[in-house]
Amino acid sequence: MKVDLLVAEIGSTTTILNGFAIKDNIRFIGKGMAKTTVETDVTIGLRAALDMLETQTGSDTLTYEEMFAASSAAGGLRMTVSGLVYEMTVRAAKEAALNAGANIHLITAGELTEDDLEQIVDIRPNIVLVSGGTDYGERHVAFNNLRMIEALKLNTPILYAGNIENHYRIKKLFEESDQKPYLTIVDNVYPRVDYMNIHPVRRQIYKTFEEHIIHAKGMGAIKDMVKGSIMPTPGSVMEAAILLHEAIGNLMVIDVGGATTDIHTITSPSKEFEVYSEGEPLEKRTVEGDLGVFINYRNVIELIGKENLRRKLDVSNKTFDTLIENFNYKPETPNERKLIYELTRTCVHHALNRHIGDLRSVYTSSGQKVIPEGRDLTQVQTIILTGGALVYLENTEKIIREYIRTNPKKLVPKGEVKIYKDHDYIMSSLGVLSLKYRKEALTLLQSSLGLGGE
- Examine the pLDDT at 142 and tell me if it is beyond 90: yes
- Examine the pLDDT at 222 and tell me if it is beyond 60: yes
134 and 46: one domain? no
408 and 283: one domain? yes
pLDDT at 179: 63
Give 373-390 pLDDT, tens digit per residue. 899 999 999 999 999 899
Q: List alpha helices for 106-187, DSSP H.
A: 114-123, 140-151, 167-175
50-75: average pLDDT: 86
Closest listed residue to residue 341, CA positions, set 385, 389, 307, 274: 389
pLDDT at 35: 86
220-233: average pLDDT: 78
**Domain assignment present for 27:** yes
Cα(338)–Cα(332) distance, integer angstroms: 10
412 and 344: one domain? yes
Which residue did the predictor score with more confidence, 79 or 38?
79
Asked if residues 161 and 96 have their Cβ atoms less than 8 Å apart, the reply is: yes
pLDDT at 213: 61
pLDDT at 454: 45
Q: Which of 224, 249, 266 is the last residue of a domain?
A: 224
Cα(263)–Cα(181) distance, integer angstroms: 34
**Domain assignment present for 190:** yes
Asked if residues 132 and 84 have their Cβ atoms less than 8 Å apart, the reply is: yes
What is the percent of the chain with per-residue pLDDT over 70, rounded to a whole number?
95
Asked if residues 443 and 453 have their Cβ atoms less than 8 Å apart, the reply is: yes
Cα(344)–Cα(184) distance, integer angstroms: 39
92 and 148: one domain? yes
Give 160-191 pLDDT, tens digit per residue. 999 999 999 999 998 887 766 689 999 999 99
Cα separations (Å) of 442 from 283, 380, 433, 445? Answer: 18, 20, 10, 5
Cα(449)–Cα(350) distance, integer angstroms: 25
Output phi, psi for 352, to 5 deg.
-65, -40
61 and 158: one domain? no
pLDDT at 14: 83
108 and 53: one domain? no
Q: Which of 224, 246, 275 is the last residue of a domain?
A: 224
Closest listed residue to residue 346, CA positions, set 389, 392, 384, 391: 389
Give 87-101 pLDDT, tens digit per residue. 999 999 999 999 998
Query: 299 Cβ partners below 8 Å, 6+ apart?
Result: 290, 291, 292
423-440: average pLDDT: 96
272-294: average pLDDT: 88
**Domain assignment present for 380:** yes
| pLDDT mean across residues, the chain | 91
238 and 355: one domain? yes
CATH assignment at residue 190? 3.40.50.2300
241 and 93: one domain? no
Count of other CB atoms within 10 angstroms of residue 320: 19
pLDDT at 329: 78
- Examine the pLDDT at 216 and tell me if it is beyond 60: no
- Examine the pLDDT at 27 and tell me if it is beyond 70: yes
pLDDT at 42: 80
Cα(319)–Cα(348) distance, integer angstroms: 25
pLDDT at 276: 80
**Domain assignment present for 37:** yes
**Domain assignment present for 317:** no
pLDDT at 175: 86
**Domain assignment present for 312:** no
**Domain assignment present for 31:** yes
91 and 49: one domain? no
CATH assignment at residue 404? 3.30.420.40
Domain that holds residue 433: 232-293+340-449
Number of structural domains (the chain) is 3
Q: Which of 8-12, 261-265, 380-384 has the lowest mean pLDDT?
A: 8-12
Cα(368)–Cα(371) distance, integer angstroms: 10
Q: Which of 224, 251, 269 is the last residue of a domain?
A: 224
26 and 56: one domain? yes
Q: Is 111 exposed, middle or buried (0-12, 13-18, 19+ CB in 10 A)?
A: middle
121 and 106: one domain? yes
**Domain assignment present for 179:** yes
154 and 19: one domain? no
